[in-house]
Structure 1
């Protein structure tokens, strides 16, 4: 089903992004690994080299309008098409609103919200025969906790953007899905919270498999939102 399809994964060099690249590459798709860190993106792309599909790495900032458009254009130039865009790149800063600087607020919003807007805007132009945009949100788009105002604002905004694009792009045969992912064993959490109980977190591959299942649905069906939670994490819902 994925053979000949081209999938661009932002934030593809680590964590859930890398898991998505490996799972979807294993299904025969052409994978473009997009990441702020080109070296790491190239490493992931090289590890996918034994799969049936082809790979390519692009280093860019999703929140930069010029770089975002260039990444989409480069993907299409390389493979002739883009079928799936996975807006996975994300960042966070754990600070109270009193401590939070405008620069950090701007960085989080620019990556987590402006980035998916820009990438979706430019990718949709090339999905003439239908396509799929998947936005990786978080339970942070459904609940809140202290010292994460920028992250919550970005993820609540991303969920709203995703549903708005779902409504807007359906007539163009473009599916849009928001993935509400619960805690995962990824550097995003483990590097910042070394004392976290990893047994309550899920393997990012599990979320990648859920994304794969959404992409495998018949073209007559779309899922606007899906929540994927670890069994042992009990704080949500």
Structure 2
């Protein structure tokens, strides 16, 4: 019997070095002439992305249910930047038809007839909806027709994101003159891209007490990211990245939450925009999730070469956080760190390695089993797959039409 071949991973799927975020590198020239689609772009992070990228010559199409805010933003940016390739389209992300129409119109408006980056940004959080979910008010024992709990948060944050991601997986590989993503992708201003950014939250990683629907939806977005981050580059040449902002003063943060967070450190829209700009402008960044928290002065962890560590290893301990840097402690005596101002951190940087090992072992195991069974086993399985219903004696309820019996009166 011939030896079982080892499963050979495509280069795009291999584990990449952790990002060095101690000095955020942004290739702003790469953004020029990119067609970028942003859902929920009329306010909050979406508006911040649009405001940052429009002056650099990006072709931006934003969608939102808030028509007045969306149109006002685009009109303002067109006037300020003299960039005419900025557009607003009404979009309800919970409506499949609305999303289909939005993407079709975005392609029509794109100067090169394609989409380079899709930002699945639209999101909501309803405190009252969350409160009613955890504290049922209806009499489910006696009410003859009890109402179901409202799940608008799930509809927008999960179903809407799934619709957006699904359409992105269709349109991005069809971007004219684009090539599959790679860690060695050229980053010149004339290069096309295939990029999907998912907007998660700190709630993707940690439960937000009393905000069950929101936490569930953002945990699900993390699941979507972890599913696509490895598959999409291999199957469609699409790079998938994710942003996980901490609590930030945007419209999604209501008054009760602002009261609870009074006196606590808060993240900034500017830092979230900077993290997104880094991802958009560097086509070699594939499958990364960035947490954006309050900006603090910390002693950054580095490796033996002085390179800032990513993932869990790069996150400082509490005693290494300083509100104001002490000049006498500008570096650790053993050379293992230096004080820097940071708001952006990488998470799940080592997932690729675990996924590689698991998948490789499973593939080798399956190939070994196939080799043992050989062609005779293959033929037997094929025959069994074709004839099993004949021997089971049970009709296929999904395929067999139900005959209605007529009753005589």
The residue number in structure 1 matching 2:247 is: 183
Specify the SS of the correspondent of 1:222.
coil
Specify the SS of the correspondent of 1:151.
helix
Structure whose CA Rg is larger: 2
Aligned mate of 2:117, from 70, 84, 89: 84
The residue number in structure 2 matching 1:109 is: 154
TM-score (norm 2): 0.53
The residue number in structure 1 matching 2:53 is: 24
TM-score (norm 1): 0.90
Aligned mate of 1:9, from 14, 28, 38: 38
Distance 1:215 1:19 in 2: 14
Deviation at 1:127, TM superposition (A): 1.4
Is 1:202 aligned with 2:267?
yes
The residue number in structure 1 matching 2:363 is: none
Aligned mate of 1:119, from 147, 158, 164: 164
Is 1:216 aligned with 2:281?
yes
Distance 2:62 2:284 in 1: 28
Q: Which runs of 5+ in 1 are unaligned?
A: none
Deviation at 1:145, TM superposition (A): 3.0
Deviation at 1:148, TM superposition (A): 1.0
Specify the SS of the correspondent of 2:221.
helix
Aligned mate of 2:231, from 151, 155, 168: 168
Aligned mate of 2:64, from 29, 35, 39: 35
Aligned mate of 1:51, from 40, 64, 81: 81
Specify the SS of the correspondent of 1:26.
helix
Distance 1:82 1:202 in 2: 30
Q: Is the 8 A contact 1:180 1:228 kept in 2?
A: yes
CA 1:139–1:194: 2 relative to 1, 3 Å: closer
Specify the SS of the correspondent of 1:111.
helix
Q: Is the 8 A contact 2:245 2:267 kept in 1?
A: no
Q: Is the 8 A contact 1:28 1:52 kept in 2?
A: no
Deviation at 1:191, TM superposition (A): 4.2
Size of the alignment, in residue pairs? 232
Deviation at 1:98, TM superposition (A): 2.4
Specify the SS of the correspondent of 2:257.
coil
Specify the SS of the correspondent of 2:244.
strand
Q: Is the 8 A contact 1:23 1:205 kept in 2?
A: no
> What is the root-mean-square deviation in Å for CA atoms of aligned residues?
2.1
Q: Is the 8 A contact 1:163 1:224 kept in 2?
A: no
Q: Is the 8 A contact 1:93 1:104 kept in 2?
A: no
Moved over 3 A (4+): 99-103, 190-194
The residue number in structure 1 matching 2:135 is: 98
Per-residue CA deviations over 1:39-59 (Å, capped at 9, x if unaligned) read: 211111112103264111011
Is 1:144 aligned with 2:207?
yes
